[in-house]
Structure 1
């Protein structure tokens, strides 16, 4: 599907790419074919796709697996898909952030830029075998970032705790229509058991969020400011004079466990 074909279909639908939703349509069949290869699909798989657009990936997925569940929030695109997709595609018209995800084996999507972060957090609450996701390159860089880099973030730590993440390839912006201002990247996600133990996951995620919201402040200052610890507890905890960007995910987990143990006495 080339840019002229996409533009013609949208015109016929009386639709236009929504900048507010980050709608940029993949127009390179070779990239879509590689995404299918990366997904390593099995005939019995159920695949979840968020933001199918005009079905560039959806049809390819349907040819390979038992069932595809595609969630599309745009009513005009959903109507088009309903008329053009095979019978093994279940189309859900709705907001993927509000819709309850069904059971699925693999997640294959070109995610709209505007919902990438919340969808990733929602995705990792579910059990599945593998994800192959097209994301904004800058967002993808955050997923695989190392400590002591600008891209290292709450997202990095939370995803690392839930899954192995690997950047598969960079996709130039010219492969989309309309042409976005940034490049994209295809990322592989493979869920796994956490690589380190935390006593209280709720505290671990709360701690991670608080520290990265104040990443330029020393850890001890943030924990006191957020009333996570007392002044007396501060002197008994590690890493208080460091900033969060200097800590590995494992060290953040260690800190969370130390806080729990202090509270338990």
Structure 2
């Protein structure tokens, strides 16, 4: 039985109605499922995490690698159907839980998910806190383009900066809305992420994030003006022009022109000026 017919059968058998508030669009294209699973092939024996196992479109094929597979699902209604799909497989642990509320320890070989559009950012940043080798994610196409946008372009945003500080992101394949049931209103994209070596120490991430978030409030303004607003709101009585000079950033630059490295130098210059050095990794 192909994936589409299996999904329809499970929905009818268990009287399931996909919940819009949970962003439920089940993957029903078997070729796409196999493509995602192939990209997520583990290079080690560490466990695999699947976020949002749903009706098992990815769960069952992921189990073939033999790694322990932690399949997380938030919707209690789907669990009986999921258990049916994987009933003869013994290397899968199903967890009924909200991924955002779980605590994880140790290293993971792969993280795989068809991310619900409405909560993509929250899951993405939680995921990036984990120690993993590769993450393969299907997400809204426009959101995926934001993750890979270049400085100075339309889609470049604070999300772009924060994600690219932490990971190398590559587009792998556009998925049409026909690959899902029920069909979403937009197409999706498969991305591959691998963690970067941090140029900051972990304890400085929140400070860095506050600068990026604060400046992107004034995304198209000159960075001099945006920085003055940010420093004023933060009650920091320091010279914006001096900080930009020390960070080697042109005063006429716009906020959305700044690269990840520009923001790192800017954070360093601010903390040096206020007398607390940002911990940099050589």
TM-score by length of 2: 0.86
Decide whether aligned partners of structure 1 residues 228 and 50 sit closer, same or farther in structure 2, where only a CA change above 3 A counts.
farther
Q: Is the 8 A contact 1:52 1:72 kept in 2?
A: yes
Q: Is the 8 A contact 2:173 2:191 kept in 1?
A: yes
Question: Which of 87, 93, 117 does residue 90 from structure 1 map onto?
Answer: 93
The superposition leaves residues 94-145 of structure 1 with CA deviations (integer Å, 9 ceiling, x where unpaired) of: 1111122354221011112122111110111111111111111011111111
Task: Between 94-103 and 109-118, report the one with greater CA deviation.
Answer: 94-103
Task: Between 136-145 and 9-18, report the one with greater CA deviation.
Answer: 9-18
The superposition leaves residues 189-235 of structure 1 with CA deviations (integer Å, 9 ceiling, x where unpaired) of: 011202x45793321111111122332344224313422532x4223
> Does 2:102 match 1:99?
yes
> Does 2:263 match 1:252?
yes
Decide whether aligned partners of structure 1 residues 190 and 250 sit closer, same or farther in structure 2, where only a CA change above 3 A counts.
same
**3-state secondary structure, aligned to 2:131:** coil
Query: Following TM superposition, by how much is the alpha carbon of 1:242 offset from its aligned partner in structure 2, in angstroms?
Result: 3.6
Q: Is the 8 A contact 1:220 1:241 kept in 2?
A: no
**For 1:102 and 1:152, how far apart are their aligned partners in 2?**
32
Query: Following TM superposition, by how much is the alpha carbon of 1:236 offset from its aligned partner in structure 2, in angstroms?
Result: 1.6
> Does 2:243 match 1:237?
yes
Q: Is the 8 A contact 2:109 2:134 kept in 1?
A: yes
**For 2:22 and 2:56, how far apart are their aligned partners in 1?**
17
Q: Is the 8 A contact 2:4 2:29 kept in 1?
A: no
Match of 1:73 in 2: 74
Q: Which runs of 5+ in 1 are unaligned?
A: none
Task: Between 181-190 and 239-248, report the one with greater CA deviation.
Answer: 239-248
Match of 1:119 in 2: 123
Task: Between 4-13 and 26-35, report the one with greater CA deviation.
Answer: 4-13
Q: Is the 8 A contact 1:219 1:241 kept in 2?
A: no
**For 1:222 and 1:168, how far apart are their aligned partners in 2?**
39
Q: Is the 8 A contact 1:43 1:64 kept in 2?
A: no
**For 1:160 and 1:53, how far apart are their aligned partners in 2?**
29
**3-state secondary structure, aligned to 1:174:** helix
**3-state secondary structure, aligned to 2:121:** helix
Mapping for residues 166-205 of structure 1, pairs under 5 Å: 166-194=170-198, 196-197=199-200, 200-205=204-209
Superposition CA RMSD, Å: 2.0
**For 2:227 and 2:215, how far apart are their aligned partners in 1?**
10
**For 1:204 and 1:244, how far apart are their aligned partners in 2?**
15
Query: Following TM superposition, by how much is the alpha carbon of 1:84 offset from its aligned partner in structure 2, in angstroms?
Result: 2.9
